[in-house]
Amino acid sequence: MAIISRGFAGRRSAPGAELPPGQYLTTDFPVLSAGPTPHIPLHRWEFTIDAGGSTLKRWDWKSFRELPTESITVDLHCVTRWSKLRTIWEVVSLDVLLADVKTHLPYAMFHSYGDYTTNLPLKDVVNKQAWIAFKYNGADLEPEHGGPARLLVPHLYLWKSAKWVKGMTLMPHDKPGFWENLGYHMYGDPWKEQRYSEE
Ligand SMILES: Nc1nc2c(c(=O)[nH]1)N[C@H]1C(S)=C(S)[C@@H](COP(=O)(O)O)O[C@H]1N2
Ligand SMILES: [Mo]
């Protein structure tokens, strides 16, 4: 009897496999938004880092765009099962934004214009794992895809990549964000198919 465990299709046991289990490839770029697209004028845009009360860091668009940037190529995996490989973005690394933030708080809640939130462990947004993107395929990021700027955390399902991101709050304990409150997994590893929380 051939029994193949779910983990067998994962990245470690299948070197070179590009698609997480249960995903299909798409070449277009679907738009998935839980509400209307906010339009944020650049002179109003800001990104802040706070520790639940005290603001630790703040950038307006000008100071944000003076930070060092990188070009990255990453794969996107949406929990609704589409994946898009080798997307090209212009980004500022969270490592740059967090460079002189000294904290022992292990979690973060990311906030967006339009009130979307999503939670992430701080260890998952440092060490070249998360970025704030402002260009896609060489052009300014379209509002539908999160422009002026969105979070990108490509090693987790795409709902963690908050569009229209405006800040992060450091937290002592993990707390569910928008989709996590509605039953999506607290962590969301696509290679382990962490789509929804167990009942
Ligand atoms: N602010 C905000 N960010 C969001 C969402 C949203 O509804 N609002 N949807 C998430 C989900 S479920 C997905 S799959 C991706 C979709 O990004 P895209 O529309 O650029 O494909 O954005 C994520 N970030
Ligand atoms: Mo999604």
Tens digits of per-residue pLDDT, 33-81?
999 999 999 999 999 999 988 999 999 999 999 999 999 999 999 999 9
Which domains does the chain show, CATH number per domain? 45-192 (3.90.420.10)
Residue nearest to atom 16 of ligand 1 (CA): 32
CB within 8 Å of 151: residues ≥ 6 apart: 110, 118, 130, 131, 132, 133, 160, 161, 162, 163, 165
Is the predicted pLDDT of residue 15 greater than 60, yes or no? no
**pLDDT per residue as tens digits for the range 111-145:** 999 989 999 999 999 999 999 999 999 999 999 99
The pLDDT, as a whole number, for residue 17 is: 74
Confidence of residue 3 (pLDDT cuts 50, 70, 90): very low
Give residue 54 CA to ligand 1 midpoint distance, Å.
28
Q: Which ligand is nearest to the CA of 195?
A: 2
Ligand 1 atom with least separation from CA of 163: 3
Does the CB atom of residue 30 touch ligand 1 within 6 A?
yes
Residue nearest to atom 18 of ligand 1 (CA): 31
Is the predicted pLDDT of residue 6 greater than 80, yes or no? no
Burial profile 167-186: b = 16 or more Cβ within 10 angstroms, e = fewer: bbbbbeeeebbbbbeeebbe
The pLDDT, as a whole number, for residue 130 is: 98
Measured CA distances, 77 to 25, 29, 41, 85, 190 (Å): 9, 11, 29, 9, 7
Q: Across residues 95-119, what is the average pLDDT? A: 97
Query: In whole numbers, what is the pLDDT of the chain averaged over residues?
Result: 93
d(CA 160, CA 92): 17
- The residue behind tokens 């991101």 is 165
Q: Does the model's pTM come out above 0.75?
A: yes
Confidence of residue 199 (pLDDT cuts 50, 70, 90): low
